[in-house]
Structure 1
Amino acid sequence: MSRIDETLPFHPVRIAVLTVSDSRTPETDKSGDTLVDRLTAAGHILADRGIVPDDRSAIVGRLRHWIADPAVDVILTTGGTGLTGRDVTVEAHREVYEKEIEAFGTVFTLVSMQKIGTSAVQSRATGGVAGGTYLFALPGSPGACRDAWDEILKLQLDSRHRPCNFVEIMPRLEEHLKRK
């Protein structure tokens, strides 16, 4: 069973938060606020924060910018994971992924099912890795951001989580580039 091993040191990670929305502003971005509040309360570092419109090229551009930034370990996006024509965050994420973390979407759906029942099928939450950076696309509601953080990311981004976590394999994410 998963647990936090209190005998191990906690290693904070640097997390950028991106809200994808045509209508949100810094003053009305409740989902971004939810993520920032939770990640800092957990002891992590807010590396950067931004808002971009529901525009695939704008999302990809910001993702690539942060992937290239050595001061960013993890990117959390909120918004644009639904089924409407303007929901293009998942496609933007997949454009930059080197590897997709397929189980993230599955686990998020299981968590969501406990809260919102079959409405969970309308979310396309996803996760992946690119350039040694983890990326997670979360729905645009504060509740979904809380669920993703509290039930999945808080644990997987804690270096003390057992039996395994994302932090402990960070140094190995780009080992394929060192091979000849």
Structure 2
Amino acid sequence: MSKLSGDFVALNVAVMTVSDNRDAANDTSGDYLREALSEAGHQVVDHAIVADNRYRIRATVSRWIASEDVQVVIINGGTGFNSKNSTPEALLPLFDREIEGFGELFRMISYEEIGSATLQSRAVAGMANETLIFAVPGSGNACRSAWERIIADQLDARTRPCNFVSHLKKL
């Protein structure tokens, strides 16, 4: 359980949904993440729905990494074991450093909910150009678990003993 102390720092976040069949009308996971971020006090500065194509994913994330206005990127979708899923392959070459513990922790939490099926989750996280990037499965339950049990605390400067806020680009 995290302890809170100090001041809250609002972060600029971009949200991506990776899907070949979602659009603005039915992007429930992307909607959830944007609402959760706003409710937490962060600014959603951009969002996109991108086809499950490693080069399209990489191009959009690269633009956000290079931006002076985006500190965090949260991606939902494209992390499964299906051969079409390419989010990890799109992101790994972009990372300056991978955050291995994120995928491990996500799968541990997911195991409580879906059992051994969590083996097929390829949730990843990393840092690139002082931009924090999380990629989680696209299901609503997975997005909720990742946000509520991991990401929200790590985007809160008050979380002790540590969080990622001090590692992000300054605006």
Common fold: TM-score over 0.5? yes
CA distance in 2, matches of 1:87, 1:67: 22
- Given candidates 61, 71, 76, the residue that maps to 1:73 is 71
CA distance in 1, matches of 2:118, 2:65: 29
Runs of 4+ in 1 over 2 A off after TM superposition: 168-172
Matches within 5 A, 1:7-156: 8-156=6-154
For structure 1, list consecutive stretches of 5 or more residues without a partner in the other structure.
173-180
CA distance in 2, matches of 1:126, 1:94: 8
Q: What secondary structure does 1:75 align onto?
A: strand
Equivalenced residue count is: 170
Give 2:126's aligned amino acid. G
TM-score normalized by structure 1? Answer: 0.91
For structure 2, list consecutive stretches of 5 or more residues without a partner in the other structure.
none
Measured after TM superposition, the shift of residue 171 of structure 1 is 5.2
Measured after TM superposition, the shift of residue 169 of structure 1 is 2.6
Give 1:27's aligned amino acid. A
1:10-41 deviations in Å (ceiling 9; x for gaps): 00111100011110001100110111111111
CA distance in 2, matches of 1:83, 1:26: 25
Equivalent residue, structure 1, for 2:4? 4
The structure having more radius of gyration, on CA atoms, is 1
CA distance in 1, matches of 2:169, 2:30: 27
Sequence identity (%): 44
Q: CA RMSD in A?
A: 1.2
TM-score normalized by structure 2? Answer: 0.96
1:57-98 deviations in Å (ceiling 9; x for gaps): 100000100001111000011100001111000100102111
